[in-house]
Chain A
């Protein structure tokens, strides 16, 4: 079993109070950057120990072209979002994951929204991307990560739009800062798999790898974005 994962961490500061951010969070769809989000449902919700636990189901369009359908079906992608909100500590943590297609790419995201000393809201987002696609998982993960980096600043635009619409008077004036760092971790499977298959089939493998690599390059970033809920 080849299971490897890459992680990516981004920080975003919203120029709104924590209360405004969490209130807007439940209303962040639709927004101009979220046209790919089709549906949104709350499927579980309870207050336990003073904290609000929610589970929501989102579905998003699948921008995969027809020829990609032989690799995976072309239905809307489902995403589950679990969250815990602590109104006393003022922390809000969301966990999201995709349903299905996990062999191709599994994107787990954890976002923690907390109050900064200056009254603004800090969102720390960590994404864990993994893939079980034979031999190509490193490339798939790499391109998945690329997409996260590229979208770093664009990421919060949709949410900011909703915040601005809901709380037009309450924006805190300050410069928004975004920092990013990426680390790749635990790559233990790929090499071993490649060497055990070396030999008479190596040429065929190389060819396949090349095709696979191009396929990855085109689509891994798309898939990563699809499974992500950042917009």
Chain B
């Protein structure tokens, strides 16, 4: 069985869903913008990323809202990988309900 290879010169990307159902369309637009910027500009030495900034901002607002609604702990996500001391902080918290007391509104 052969994998279907499309003959399009313009690369067609299939898009994954966003964590927020209502963010899918924004994500699709942002991904398209980013993919184009990444291969056509960034990999060619251009570091100015302002072209996708407006759509990224709107998409971010949507995703952050969805994450808050689903009680995904932003605090845990923001932990910097390089610090590597999660054990010290998370001993008591892991597996418990999310502590939403400090969440931004």
Contact = CB atoms under 8 A, between A and B. Distances in A.
Interface stretch (A32-40, A139-147, A202-210): A32-40
Interface string A33-66: 0000111111101110010100101010000000
B72 to A, nearest CB: 6
Given A23-B35, A164-B3, A39 B18 contact: yes
A41 B19 contact: yes
Interface residues of A, number: 42
A120 interface: no
Contacts of A158: none
A55 to B, nearest CB: 8
A72 B95 contact: yes
Interface in B40-85: 42-43, 45, 47-49, 56, 59-60, 63-64, 67, 72-73, 76-77, 81
A46 B49 contact: yes
Given A30-B14, A87-B43, A23 B30 contact: no
A134 interface: no
Size range of the interface on B? 35 or more
Interface in A51-96: 52, 55, 57, 59, 72-73, 78, 80, 82, 87, 95
Contacts of B6: 165
A45 B42 CA distance: 13
B77 A47 contact: no
A222 to B, nearest CB: 18
A172 interface: no
A94 B40 CA distance: 22
Most buried by B among A37, A47, A101: A47
Contacts of B18: 39-41
A47 B64 CA distance: 21
B39 interface: yes
A155 interface: no
29 contacts: A19-B39, A22-B43, A23-B39, A26-B31, A30-B16, A37-B16, A39-B16, A39-B18, A39-B19, A40-B17, A42-B34, A42-B56, A42-B59, A43-B63, A43-B67, A43-B77, A45-B49, A47-B42, A47-B48, A80-B77, A97-B81, A99-B73, A100-B76, A101-B94, A102-B86, A103-B94, A103-B95, A165-B5, A168-B5
